[in-house]
Structure 1
């Protein structure tokens, strides 16, 4: 297939470069030919090369896309114009290839929804990040299917007619929502399902719709799972979770040492957990990423290393933190004790620390609590 004369002349550099309008027509003709020619054919590749030459000529005079805004806001999406011309992407609206070299395209900075510039006005799906902001909780039932008839045999999202027989459109089930979607809204992407992890400790990725895939990706690191309430029996069957819970409890006991220690604050020790900041706030909340890393063993190794670093600062490196240790008042023997030591027990009332064996063998009350009660009694007698 031959190029039109205007395209060929521009590609050969025989036309005056100041003729911007004619140059734009030549570029448009090249774009049309690229879309019409067989993909990966020699003629298509030659046309692409000529288009590059034409664009370079135009860039010397004028930005070919200067009329396209760099940022557009639509349905809570914040679309940013992409600069990449070589990477092939799929348009989430029309499900066709985005030719970055010849088509303008945008990506939402919140949920990474991609689309052609020409498809912008046809979008009817709001940004998934807004849902994450307003509804930060998972569906915790395993594939809560209600049936295609309850959906009136229409896609749960765009309401396109669908059928299990594939006529007029194939119905695809999302394992996260349990609902059925058309092929434009469900691309057979896979994701780990939170409900299957919490109830069955199963991490096999399942097929989900595009919206669920984005929602799960954005929610991955959010600590919204309170395992103690959702499935407390999980700790009876998963040893890794028991170990991680103990490490988290120890880290919370170490935190008061660090927030009152100038050296620890200057060394920013607590920033070792900046990727999992909820670990220094409580020992109950988990993110889906925490559970995935627990299953692989990565989280246990990482927390053990951090636990060792923290304990070394308190017990060996810092004299001020060492001075905040305890002596066992029951046996009055042994080394300085800390509440996060494995062989100690802590009084629930006054938080004094004792050897575990001494604490459980002792039949009397805590010595420190006894002193505090006696002092209170004396103060009441002598106001």
Structure 2
């Protein structure tokens, strides 16, 4: 067990990001397993803003983060675009006042086409948002109805145009494939429409049926595996031909500087605070040789209860769990990782994983550059990622 102890001499403090969760939606989508709550009355906007900042202050104090610079901010949900631009500005101004940060720090806000208009995007830009992620999912009316979305194809296209005219530096379109009864042709049509809107970034991922969702209770008819493979192969070629570079399993960017820096920090096993209902966090403390994970109170009523602690769960990641946790994130990326990366972010020696890496290389799931001491997921490894990850359990 000596090799599985976290070594203070190896462990380094990674970049720190902030995730802010806004839990309300107009209605719950049948595929969604995120912590979201359908609107039944007016959003307690100001109360929630106050709670978010109190939550943040508690985390800063608990984990002694006063001197750590902030790498990025991501406001997700739920549907954050339900909040007013004034509320978003209030949140961001108070957050940024508490951290050292670059003047051009990436600040992403998720928006749904059915809850936005041009003036609102302009307001978000003035509030400090630098990147929008627009949840289109499909441009097909019948598919949008099946997915429980509240927008139509024209609203989705208008939202992309609003993003361009708002002054926001960058925007992403979120698109799904493998939808109920979707053909290869229809999936590629969705992708072609997204590309025609000229986003800087496209998140293109396959619909999966998750537990505790309406689709899990009443599963729709999804395309067969052969169709899914064809969609994936032809779609990736379409994106590549249009100038989008794949840098993660489901993420494609026009250039390196249009990659989502916030998500990259997740996948490179960086740290992040999670504030808001049900938000998750990961914090490294090199003084105690510990890596912590936090989960906040899930329900808005409980989260807004001033007599309760915001933290619902606080766990220390054990040394035995760290190899899988590192790989679960890192192996989503196209780029190679080094054994130094593993040691710096986990505090474990490379001996812990080297034999497993060799097995993965023998199975052609990983490719190694032994001179540079780097490892990279192979095309086969991306296709059978779950099998690859199981090697590190």
TM-score above 0.5, yes or no: no
Q: Which has the larger radius of gyration?
A: 1
- Normalised by the size of structure 1, how large is the TM-score? 0.18
Instruction: Between the two structures, name the one with larger relative contact order (CA 8 Å, sep ≥ 6).
Output: 2
Structure with the larger helix share: 1
- Normalised by the size of structure 2, how large is the TM-score? 0.18
